[in-house]
């Protein structure tokens, strides 16, 4: 084990990694290690033959280019991956390539070696044997198996190897999927498990679940069972492919890909592989019956219909009569394809009307319980719940681990035990028993003990059923759950759009919870109320939420309505209210820290920029994208951009008070281009390249810890004796700067990059960012810039093409180029 030096945590000392196997997973894992700042060597086998291209170039099997081909190709795939695998494209330089025959010595210098070769025990064992001879004592070795026996892989290896060996089962794609199942063997040391957990959680930002070394571990075991059960029940109930997917996707709190679409994505051959794994290793007749290869799947695979990768599976992409591509679906039992049919029923209507996963599942079961759709849903759900209950304590130590694995590995909104609580534990068990199902003894004993749910809240503590009693869910380090705090009554104030929540240590968090977290009057009034409250009673304010996205922008619907009716006073009132609210955040006499995640666009960015610090989640897509709807940022965003340019120019000048065109103009150009072209980052790290980064802002790898980290930052600023930043006058580039931007606009226009309407919007943006027609270096107030923003925004609202863009966005969620 690596020694821990002073205060540096062991996980921080892991910096050199070797990944063996450069296929889908090896490449994805290598990229994510690079995301975490590690130096990676990616190795694969030496190809056995030359490609035509290699032959035409006169290369031989001895040339490095050929020998490293597989890993080199993987790096190319990483580079071009969509969605991107890397947070920053330049980090590709952190990955070196090589091959197992010539470069295994890299393992001797590595802190962590990850094996990600094909899912075959014999091949994995051979690779691990070679790692055992090449590694240095104390280095970590993990396998990325989907479900082979980890213990069997370690057999025959040295003592030191076995102590430092476990499985780290990443899910695909490793950057985006949260789950890593860590599977120790009997010989893995507790220190290794702790170190791997810390590495995966803190350095890689993943959610770790400890799994026992059983076939397919947790998520794949329950996930694959769910797919097979769904297929069986769909055939029994005579449902179509569309009906099945409509009932087993968001209706059950699962992703839209539901069952058959998901099976197509996974690959039907891969699924059979997972199924065979259980069949080979399970002794339970009931389980073997479910995992017996379903005939329908076998037939599809035998006919080459493997899912998306072969173009056909349960769905098929084909060309329609008009030449356009269309999706067809499989018909049972003929296995022919036909035009998709829309699934509808009173059950699906009730589900649609219900809000939230728990309410949807309840509607699914109770809206019309005699309807086939409801009967089917109940059959699928109960079998999953009973299967999960039968495996509690077998595949995982705690039922929470099963729930987490399904949420993080399969994107279910509720794990099986959470779902069971949602539909009512006692009544559903009663129904199961009436229907002759065998309910695991521990569940019956749990209910007999007077318990009516698997989870319970006690104050801010979350408890779960374990060994006949309740046990506290171990908090995930610094992770703060706003939902949990609200349940515990820690809401300080609330409007329909946002709430202020006490997150401990005299810090509060302003949580947006409007539709799509779009900013409208409800959020703005919550900001006004919160600013007063925080100033009076609290040490600091965090702005963060647990929604799907931090904030998709300002609420356009109201704005469009007022613009279409020509009510310009109303439009101006809305803008001024927005600007004033953001101004309150900027001038608050307590520290404010924003912690955005995922989509943070337009008004969302304007709500972050007044904060003293921004703690970005790695998955933050951040940008002032107002030009996409024909507008410019006018909630303080354009002013903030002008200030950022001036601040940076001043920092570059070594603090001289006079602005220099040489320093200010390039900063202005960058931010102008970012906003005019509605660019947004594809990660939290990408914010810097767009020009929005400020000193002290940073990215935290572990997305779930962002609220806790923002709170720490607030407390730190408070300890340092916080006073709000003074509001100095801002040197602007004026008419000269605007002329430079005008040239850029002309060049974008001539190269066909922008439309005439884009040109108009960009011209107005240039006017505001450069501070209008004043002389270069003129110092203006923030209010002056806000007035310019407002004026430009109002005039754009009156443009028919802007109104078209706004309504198009509201209707389609996509920008219109007109």
Interaction site with ligand NAD (CB under 6 A): 21-26, 44-45, 70, 116-119, 123, 127, 144-146, 170-172
Residue 719 in tokens: 């300890």
User: Strand pairing of 620-623 and 598-601?
Assistant: parallel
Q: What is the DSSP letter of 774?
A: S
How many Cβ atoms are within 10 Å of 797's Cβ, its own excluded? 24
Q: Which is nearer to ligand NAD, 44 or 242 (CB)?
A: 44
Least CB distance from residue 157 to ligand NAD, whole Å?
Answer: 17
Spatial contact of 38 and 16, defined as CB atoms under 8 Å apart: yes
Least CB distance from residue 474 to ligand NAD, whole Å?
Answer: 26
- Residue 378 CA to residue 249 CA, distance in Å, equals 14
How would you class 427 by CB atoms within 10 Å of its CB: exposed for 0-12, middle for 13-18, buried for 19 or more?
exposed
3-state secondary structure 679-726: CCCCCCCCHHHHCCCCCCCEECCCHHHHHHHHHHHHHHHHHCCCCCCC
Spatial contact of 111 and 13, defined as CB atoms under 8 Å apart: yes
Least CB distance from residue 171 to ligand NAD, whole Å?
Answer: 6
Residue 480 in tokens: 């703060």
Least CB distance from residue 269 to ligand NAD, whole Å?
Answer: 12
Least CB distance from residue 441 to ligand NAD, whole Å?
Answer: 33
DSSP element (H, E) containing 165: strand 165-170
- 655 φ/ψ angles, rounded to the nearest 5 degrees: 90, 10
Least CB distance from residue 142 to ligand NAD, whole Å?
Answer: 11
- 446 φ/ψ angles, rounded to the nearest 5 degrees: -60, -45
Least CB distance from residue 515 to ligand NAD, whole Å?
Answer: 34
Q: Which is nearer to ligand NAD, 297 or 599 (CB)?
A: 297
Q: In terms of Cα–Cα distance, which of 693, 790, 687, 772 is closest to 730?
A: 772
Least CB distance from residue 72 to ligand NAD, whole Å?
Answer: 12
Q: In terms of Cα–Cα distance, which of 474, 431, 461, 467 is closest to 446?
A: 467
Q: Which is nearer to ligand NAD, 172 or 257 (CB)?
A: 172
- Residue 644 CA to residue 604 CA, distance in Å, equals 17
Residue 80 in tokens: 């071009």
Q: Which is nearer to ligand NAD, 29 or 399 (CB)?
A: 29
Residue 212 in tokens: 């026992």
3-state secondary structure 300-339: HHHCCCCEHHHCECCEEEEECCCCCEEEEEECCCCCCEEC
Least CB distance from residue 64 to ligand NAD, whole Å?
Answer: 17
Q: Residue 141's beta-bridge partner residues? A: 113, 165
Q: Which is nearer to ligand NAD, 150 or 584 (CB)?
A: 150
Least CB distance from residue 134 to ligand NAD, whole Å?
Answer: 14
Residue nearest to ligand NAD as judged by C-beta position: 23
Helix (H, G, I), strand (E, B) or coil at 619: coil
Count the alpha carbons within 13 Å of 225 in the hemisphere toward its beta carbon.
Answer: 29
Least CB distance from residue 735 to ligand NAD, whole Å?
Answer: 57
Q: Residue 455's beta-bridge partner residues? A: 464
Spatial contact of 412 and 406, defined as CB atoms under 8 Å apart: yes
Helix (H, G, I), strand (E, B) or coil at 40: strand
Residue 669 in tokens: 């150009």
Least CB distance from residue 401 to ligand NAD, whole Å?
Answer: 18
Q: Which is nearer to ligand NAD, 209 or 556 (CB)?
A: 209
């Amino acid at each position: 084990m690596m020694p821990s030096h002073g205060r540096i945590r062991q996980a921080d000392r892991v910096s050199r990694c070797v990944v063996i196997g450069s296929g889908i997973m090896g490449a994805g894992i290598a990229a994510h290690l690079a995301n975490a700042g590690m130096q990676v060597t990616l190795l694969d086998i030496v190809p056995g033959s030359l490609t035509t291209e290699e032959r035409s170039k006169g290369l031989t099997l001895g040339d490095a280019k050929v020998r490293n081909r597989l890993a080199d190709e993987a790096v190319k795939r990483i580079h071009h991956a969509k969605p991107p695998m890397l947070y920053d494209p330049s980090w590709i330089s952190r990955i070196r390539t090589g091959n197992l025959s010539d470069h295994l010595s890299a393992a001797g210098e590595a802190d962590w070696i990850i094996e990600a070769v094909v899912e075959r025990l014999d091949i994995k064992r051979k690779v691990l044997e070679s790692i055992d001879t090449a590694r240095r004592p104390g280095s970590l070795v993990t396998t990325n198996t989907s479900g082979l026996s980890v213990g069997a892989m370690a057999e025959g290896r040295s003592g030191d190897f076995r102590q430092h060996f476990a499985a780290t089962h990443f899910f695909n794609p490793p950057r985006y999927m949260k789950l890593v199942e860590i599977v120790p063997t009997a010989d893995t040391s507790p220190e290794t498990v702790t170190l791997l957990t810390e590495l995966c959680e803190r350095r890689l930002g993943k959610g770790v679940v400890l799994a026992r070394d059983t076939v397919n571990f947790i998520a794949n075991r329950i996930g694959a069972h769910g797919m097979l059960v769904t297929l069986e029940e769909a055939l029994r109930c005579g449902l179509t492919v569309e009906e099945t997917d409509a009932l087993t996707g968001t209706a059950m709190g699962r992703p839209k890909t539901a069952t058959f679409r998901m099976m197509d994505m996974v690959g039907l051959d891969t699924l059979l592989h997972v199924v065979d794994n259980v069949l080979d290793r399970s002794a339970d007749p009931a389980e073997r019956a479910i995992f017996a290869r379903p005939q329908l799947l076998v037939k599809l695979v035998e006919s080459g219909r493997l899912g998306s990768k072969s173009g056909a599976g349960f769905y098929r992409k084909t060309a329609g009569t008009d030449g356009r591509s269309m999706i067809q679906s499989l018909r049972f039992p003929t296995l022919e394809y036909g035009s998709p049919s829309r699934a509808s029923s009173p059950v699906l209507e009730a589900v649609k009307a219900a809000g939230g996963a728990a309410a949807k599942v309840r509607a699914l079961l109770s809206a019309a319980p005699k309807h086939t759709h409801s009967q089917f849903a109940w059959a699928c759900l109960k079998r999953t719940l009973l299967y999960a209950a039968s495996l509690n304590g077998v595949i995982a130590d705690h039922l929470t681990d099963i729930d987490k694995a399904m949420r993080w590995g399969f994107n279910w909104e509720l794990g099986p035990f959470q779902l069971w609580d949602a539909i009512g534990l006692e009544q559903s068990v009663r129904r199961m028993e009436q229907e002759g199902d065998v309910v695991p003894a521990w569940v019956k004993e749990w209910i007999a003990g007077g318990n009516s749910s698997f989870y319970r809240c006690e104050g801010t503590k979350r408890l779960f059923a374990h060994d006949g009693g309740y046990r506290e869910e171990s908090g995930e380090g610094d992770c703060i759950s706003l939902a949990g705090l609200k349940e515990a009554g820690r809401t300080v104030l609330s409007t329909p759009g946002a709430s202020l929540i006490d997150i401990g240590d005299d810090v509060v968090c302003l949580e947006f919870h409007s539709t799509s977290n779009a900013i409208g009057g409800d959020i703005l009034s919550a900001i006004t109320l919160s600013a007063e409250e925080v100033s009076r009673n609290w040490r600091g304010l965090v702005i963060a939420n647990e929604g799907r996205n931090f904030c998709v922008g300002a609420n356009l619907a109201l704005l469009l309505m007022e613009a279409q009716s020509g009510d310009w006073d109303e439009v101006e009132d809305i803008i001024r209210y927005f600007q004033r609210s953001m101004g309150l955040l900027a001038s608050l006499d307590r520290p404010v820290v924003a912690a955005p995640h995922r989509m943070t666009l337009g008004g969302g960015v304007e709500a972050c920029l007044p904060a003293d610090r921004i703690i970005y989640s790695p998955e933050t897509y951040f940008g002032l994208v107002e030009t996409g709807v024909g507008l410019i940022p006018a909630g303080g965003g354009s002013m903030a951009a002008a200030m950022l340019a001036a601040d940076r120019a001043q920092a570059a000048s070594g603090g001289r008070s006079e602005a220099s065109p040489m320093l200010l103009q390039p900063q202005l150009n960058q931010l102008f281009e970012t906003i005019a072209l509605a660019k947004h980052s594809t990660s939290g790290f990408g914010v810097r390249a767009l020009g929005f980064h400020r000193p002290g802002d940073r990215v935290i790898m572990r997305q779930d810890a962002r609220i806790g980290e923002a709170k720490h930052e607030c407390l730190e600023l408070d300890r340092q004796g916080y006073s709000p930043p003074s509001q100095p006058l801002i040197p602007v580039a004026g008419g000269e700067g605007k002329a430079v931007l005008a040239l850029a606009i002309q060049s974008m226009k001539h190269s066909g990059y922008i439309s005439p309407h884009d040109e108009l919007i960009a011209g107005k943006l240039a006017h505001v960012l450069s501070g209008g027609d004043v002389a270069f270096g003129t110092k203006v107030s923030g209010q002056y810039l806000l007035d310019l923003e407002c004026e430009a925004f109002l005039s754009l609202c009156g443009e028919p093409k802007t109104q078209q863009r706004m309504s198009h966005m509201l209707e389609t969620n996509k920008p219109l180029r007109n």
